[in-house]
Amino acid sequence: MTKKQKNNLIRCIVSLVLVVGLSVAFHFAGLPWWVELIAFLIPYFIVGYDVLLKAFKNIRNGQVFDECFLMTIATIGAIATGEYREGVAVMLFYQIGELFQSIAVGKSRKNISDLMDICPEVANVLHEDGSITEEDPDDVEIGSIIVVNPGERVPIDGIIIEGDTSLDTSALTGESVPRAAHPDEEIISGCISLTGMIKIKTTKEFEDSTVSKILELVENSSMRKAKAENFISRFAKYYTPIVCYSALALFVLPPVIRLLLGLSADWLDWLMRALTFLVISCPCAVVISVPLSFFGGIGSASSKGILVKGSNYLEALASTDTIVFDKTGTLTKGVFEVQEIFTNDDVSRDYLLERAANCESASNHPIAESILRAYKKEFSAEIDHNLIYDVEEIAGHGISIKYRQVKGASVSYKESPDGVVESVDKKVASGEEVHYKIYAGNMRLMKMIGAPVTKEHDEGTVVYVAESRLSEKNQASEIKYLGCIVIADELKETSQEAMSKLRKQGIKTIMLTGDSENAASLIAEKVGVSEYKSELLPGDKVTEVEKLLGEETANEKGQTEAGKRSGKLAFVGDGINDAPVLARADIGIAMGAMGSDAAIEAADIVLMDDDPAKISLAMKISRKTLRIVKQNITFAIAVKVLCLILGALGIANMWIAIFADVGVMVLAVLNATRTLRI
């Protein structure tokens, strides 16, 4: 408990002891009414002075109608009519309810505050002279070398250049098992180095690092309210003044009508009914429990490595019936490895790999990186980027470059005196230059450039390679097909589990990929998605999602209506090319560890450990949160309406009013805290 909470608890206990003691004392001692009044005012002011002050400040500022105003009018009215114990009890139990709410909010905030602790205050920067200085992470430039000692948090994203360690990533991913980290591996900020000292070369500025992005997402999440929260805000805005005027009418109109009918007015009786009506009508239970439920749900999700950018997205996820998945990096690990190399005719294996590596060196796609790794392993050499120019990335097809070959390297073409380019092998004389245009991509690219592919392969993801020699006039010779490289991408361990759990939750799963039909069908069958679409360009994915968003659904009469979906659609992706689809879907879910910054920025929910099985957990959290919200709204309003009717009829006394207000609020708040235990 915080210092303020402890102080409020002490006030409540002292007030309760005084009320009980005074009630017993005055029961046996016949003292004047004014002595009893003064005595009960002591516990009243002890427990309620802050409520009274807030009510008077709000009245002075023109903000009259709130729960403090209702409590002040009801308790002062009860004391003024001689119901001293009831007046103090209303204030006491109201404060007990507020204490329960404060403790509940504190628990739900704990998950968020734990997340805030992932932000290191300093970075140990290593300088060229070997000295180390502590600097503010905001001041550390890209390319700096920082040292992280055992037990310290990584302050900025980067690449390990020296040292091995085990990383505690629980604050980011919810995963309790440490992960091994070695040189040349990427490392994200917020992790704790457990076993060894490591040196990291920073690749991002602090404001762009993972830890800063997470904190920004969490801090902004409360700004995006769910429909239920907006409804409650509007409800309270109009509800409170309505019940205040209704209580006034209940106090004035019946006595006036009774007087007109020649009956006694019974002003005191109707005043007590009006005051009871005010206490019952206090909207605390609904106003507090609904946002608390969403806050608890977001806190619960964040503790498990699921960052929800707002309660509106948590609410929307609960009504999701279709989830569309990207393949690479989402259902698969996105770590490609060269499996087979198939050459054409007289082309050597080394020649094909060298040509493909030069072409793919201009791309940062995981497929390109796998080919470059295979090249470095085979030749123990780096690509000479000075020989590459006129790079052209052909969206959804592949890439092409122009390549300058020099110094006696092996060449496959020569130009005859009459200008005809012939296919032969020879050595270029030292210093002589020969220029080529190299293509690497899918079968669509080969068909587009007219490369004579001798055999198509469907063993996995296939990169076809072709080239043509350029004459001195920069005219291309006939395209020669060199062969293809088969690359395999491994499924994530939890992809099948994720699809299985989502099916049990009644979710339709669809996979969209740019891969070939054969490769896509193989992955779809292994994973177990409901449907899949293959050979899609980035723009095609948007088109497919828009089709799904506008598909026909059955209305209440059983007729189909276009453009009216009964549920929401979510898209899960990780690449920069997924950003448009993530933004277009009802809910965008991005992979946070391997995903691109653009994808994370466009998404509404971020999975920090790239585990697709966490989507099922997020669904469970959202649905349970919505159930609790609906339970609280239904329970609170039903009890209040019943008690308001009983209060207006004079059946409900002040003690029933206390239950209708404080009791319902405590029960609703306790129910809301269940979101923390999902």
pLDDT above 50 for 562? no
- The pLDDT of residue 146 is 93
Q: What angle do CA 79, 665, 633 make, to 5 degrees?
A: 130
pLDDT over 90, % of the chain: 15
Please choose, from the candidates 555, 547, 603, the residue with its C-alpha nearest in 3D space to the C-alpha of residue 575.
Answer: 603
The string of pLDDT tens digits covering residues 411-453 is 444 444 444 444 444 444 445 778 899 999 988 899 999 998 8
Backbone dihedral angles phi then psi of residue 423, each to the nearest 5 degrees: -95, 105
Q: Which residues, including other chains, have CB under 8 Å from residue 629's CB and lie 6 or more apart? A: 228, 289, 290, 293, 294
* Per-residue three-class SS string for 232-266: HHHHHHHHHHHHHHHHHHHHHHHHHHHHHCCCCCC
| Annotation marks residue 384 as catalytic | no
- The pLDDT of residue 213 is 65
Instruction: Give the Å distances, CA to CA, from 405 to 325, 387, 428.
Output: 42, 7, 9
pLDDT above 60 for 479? yes
* Per-residue three-class SS string for 283-318: CHHHHHHHHHHHHHHHHHHHHCCEEECCHHHHHHHH
The neighbouring-strand residues paired with 159 are 186, 201
pLDDT over 70, % of the chain: 80
- The pLDDT of residue 170 is 62
Q: Which residues of 461-482 are buried (b: 16+ CB within 10 A; e: fewer)?
A: bbbbbbbbbbeeeeebbebbbb
Structure tokens at 295: 């806050």
- The pLDDT of residue 413 is 44
- Of the pLDDT bands very low, low, confident and very high (cuts 50, 70, 90), residue 188 is confident
Q: How many CB atoms lie within 10 A of CB 629?
A: 29
Instruction: Check residues 52 and 600 and name the one with the higher pLDDT.
Output: 52
Residue 135 CB-density burial (10 A; 0-12 exposed, 13-18 middle, 19+ buried): middle
Instruction: Check residues 332 and 114 and name the one with the higher pLDDT.
Output: 332
> Which amino acid is it at 257?
I
Q: Which of 307-321, 436-450, 644-658 has the highest mean pLDDT?
A: 436-450
Q: How many CB atoms lie within 10 A of CB 273?
A: 22
Instruction: Give the Å distances, CA to CA, from 648 to 280, 641, 651.
Output: 10, 11, 8
Q: Rounded mean pLDDT of 383-412?
A: 78
Rama region for 326: left / alpha / beta (φ>0; ψ in -120 to 50; rest): beta
Long-range Cβ contact pairs of 647-653 (< 8 A, separation 24 or more): 647/273, 647/276, 647/277, 647/280, 648/250, 648/273, 648/277, 650/269, 650/273, 652/276, 652/280, 653/86, 653/276
* From 66, 326, 489, 578, the catalytic residue: 326
Q: Rounded mean pLDDT of 303-326?
A: 85
Q: What is the largest CA-CA distance in the chain?
A: 130
- The pLDDT of residue 466 is 95
- Of the pLDDT bands very low, low, confident and very high (cuts 50, 70, 90), residue 596 is low
- The pLDDT of residue 501 is 92
Q: Rounded mean pLDDT of 152-167?
A: 88
- The pLDDT of residue 84 is 80
Instruction: Check residues 134 and 293 and name the one with the higher pLDDT.
Output: 134
Which region among 50-64, 153-167, 347-361, 561-575 has the lowest average model confidence (pLDDT)? 561-575
Q: Which residues, including other chains, have CB under 8 Å from residue 560's CB and lie 6 or more apart? A: 552, 553, 554
Which region among 145-159, 189-203, 216-230, 412-426 has the lowest average model confidence (pLDDT)? 412-426
Q: Rounded mean pLDDT of 542-558?
A: 66
Counting every residue written for the chain, the total comes to: 678
The string of pLDDT tens digits covering residues 76-109 is 877 877 778 877 877 887 787 777 767 665 655 5
